[in-house]
């Protein structure tokens, strides 16, 4: 399974997630406002 780093725009939390999963949500706050880094 492919995983890439994403960062939450709200808190700056960085996490690994499958880029094909939708929607991608921050595991810490549940926000969908994330960017691939």
Structure-token pair, residue 37: 């880094």
Domain range for 30: 4-36
- Whether residue 1 is predicted with pLDDT greater than 80 in this model: the reply is no
11: pLDDT strictly greater than 90 = yes
pLDDT given for residue 33 in this prediction = 98
Cα–Cα distance for residue pair 20/11, rounded to 1 Å: 23
Distance CA 5, CA 27 (A): 13
CA separation, residue 11 to residues 2, 20, 24, 34 (Å): 24, 23, 15, 10
**Average of per-residue pLDDT across 17-27:** 96
φ, ψ for residue 30, nearest 5 deg: 80, 5
State pTM to two decimals. Answer: 0.85
Q: How many domains does the chain have?
A: 1
């Amino acid at each position: 399974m492919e995983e890439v780093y994403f960062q939450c725009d709200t808190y700056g939390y960085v996490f690994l997630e499958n880029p094909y999963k939708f929607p991608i949500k921050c595991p810490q706050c549940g926000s969908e406002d994330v960017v691939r880094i």
